[in-house]
Amino acid sequence: MRIGVYGGTFNPPHLGHITAARAVFDLLKLDKLLLIPTGRPPHKQLPEGSPTPEQRLEMTQLMAEETGVETEVLDLEIHREGRSYTSDTLARLHEQYPNDELWLLMGTDMFLTLQDWHAPEEILSLAGVAAFGRTEADTEELFAVQRDYLSGAYPQARIFTLTVPGVVDVSSTELRERLRLGQGGTLLAPRVYGYILRHGLYGVSSDMKHLPLERLRPVALTYLHHRRMPHVLGTESEAVRLAERWGGGDSKLIQKARRAALLHDCTKRLDMEEQKALCAEYGIELDPLEQREIKLLHAKTGAAIAESIFGEPPEIVDAIRWHTTGRADMTLLEKIIYLADYIEPTRHFPGVEDLRRRCYEDLDGGLLMGLEMTVDEMVERGSPIHRATLEARDWLKGQRHRDEE
């Protein structure tokens, strides 16, 4: 196996890291990438709002999920006491992967000072070096001299230099400054940005109430398991289409639909115990069915979080609260969220195409169809049907009956 080893402070991890890692991964045909955030720098006074080593580790983990290649984040330097030497880390990795080829990834500055690191000879005998420059000039002019020097001084060295096309040209120092000024979010993986906003790192405000959409979106994504991201973004785009179709040009409705969609499953990753703890915290009362059906709980706890943490207004909170079951007398926004969740583009189940078509021809017809499909599914599975689901269905049936008279 060929393994890439990419260490750094990752303070914060950004798109520059991702692009560089991916380029090396492809060019060297790596099988796996290890990201290794460094530990606390000894005797270094960190500015206020600096993340702890554990927070840098968590952000690196969030970034790792976005690389699109086999990536693992290692905490071996984070937890090591005192100074961390790359040579020690490589020795450890060599023990763990005795038959594999290690390649150390590094940017320009690191590459140009490699001979000054602790035990360069050992580093170069344990791993090949993959150095990436930001520009062609970096790589060709600067790197050629250093490459020749290292090859002369350390005959065992394997050195590979490359220009990373389209590498995000930003230093972490600049990026931290931009974040402090409320910018720079586009240079980060969405969930890394969300994590920074959520924890108020680098001097950004950690008040989560009434965030503008560009901030709400990344923060909302940090509440999800990464596998659920496409579903939630799909629900957002579907909700916008439904609001455009049925909202009569009401642009506020579109904004509300986006916010409700982004937050609708924000507690979905929590287990039963955590759901119950939130219910206790927010005074949510549960009927006997809700006591044991976790699927029914996340809508209620999600509504509580939307209200208390994000300061969302009642209409958005209700759309979240009723997104799983529906209810009698649903508002337009509630219908949109219920159905967007059901038919968004990543949903695949028999009948979804019919349901999609119906939703754009006749909203209430689509809603009734969705509710009836859920009831049928519950019956088939032998799951008890929630009262609100039945009430929603009966309300729509009654309404259609009245319309026909």
Residues that bind Fe ion (CB under 5 A): 265, 341
* 374 binds, options Fe ion, ligand DGI, none, Cβ within 5 to 8 A by partner type: ligand DGI
Report the candidate in 175, 194, 157, 188 with the shortest Cα–Cα distance to residue 17.
Answer: 188
Decide whether 182 or 351 has the Cβ nearer to ligand DGI: 351
Place of tokens 């706890």: 301
Interface stretch with ligand DGI, choices 103-111, 113-121, 217-225, 317-325 (CB under 6 A): 317-325
Place of tokens 């990795």: 93
372 touches ligand DGI by CB under 6 A: no
Rounded Cα distance between 341 and 359, Å, is 12
Q: How far is CA 177 from CA 134, 170, 213, 337, 345, in A?
A: 21, 11, 22, 38, 38
Number of residues that bind ligand DGI (CB under 6 A): 18
CB 158 within 8 A of CB 126: no
Decide whether 154 or 322 has the Cβ nearer to ligand DGI: 322
323 touches ligand DGI by CB under 6 A: yes
* 325 binds, options Fe ion, ligand DGI, none, Cβ within 5 to 8 A by partner type: ligand DGI
- Three-state DSSP class for 77? coil
Interface stretch with ligand DGI, choices 16-24, 85-93, 186-194, 288-296 (CB under 6 A): 288-296
* 389 binds, options Fe ion, ligand DGI, none, Cβ within 5 to 8 A by partner type: ligand DGI
344 touches ligand DGI by CB under 6 A: no
Let me know how long the chain is. Answer: 405
291 touches ligand DGI by CB under 6 A: no
Selected from 202, 247, 341, 396, the binder of ligand DGI by CB under 6 A is 341
275 touches ligand DGI by CB under 6 A: no
**Single-letter residue type at 273:** E
For ligand DGI, what does the binding mask look like between residues 205 and 244, x meaning CB under 6 A? --------------------------x-------------
Label each residue of 16-34 as H, E or C: HHHHHHHHHHHHCCCCEEE
Interface stretch with ligand DGI, choices 15-23, 129-137, 252-260, 381-389 (CB under 6 A): 381-389
Decide whether 238 or 341 has the Cβ nearer to Fe ion: 341
User: How many CB atoms lie under 10 A from the CB of residue 378?
Assistant: 15
119 touches ligand DGI by CB under 6 A: no
Rounded Cα distance between 373 and 355, Å, is 10
Selected from 295, 357, 397, 400, the binder of ligand DGI by CB under 6 A is 295
Lateral strand order in the sheet of 71-73:
71-73, 32-37, 2-8, 101-107, 128-133, 159-163
Min dist. Cβ of residue 263 to ligand DGI (A): 12
Min dist. Cβ of residue 389 to ligand DGI (A): 3
Rounded Cα distance between 36 and 60, Å, is 9
Min dist. Cβ of residue 246 to ligand DGI (A): 20
131 forms beta bridges with 106, 161
| Tokens linked to 218 | 């990344």
Q: Where are the alpha helices (DSSP H) in 70-142?
A: 86-96, 108-112, 120-126, 136-137
Chain contacts with ligand DGI (rule: CB under 6 A) = 231, 265, 268, 293, 295-296, 299, 323-325, 341, 374, 378, 383-386, 389
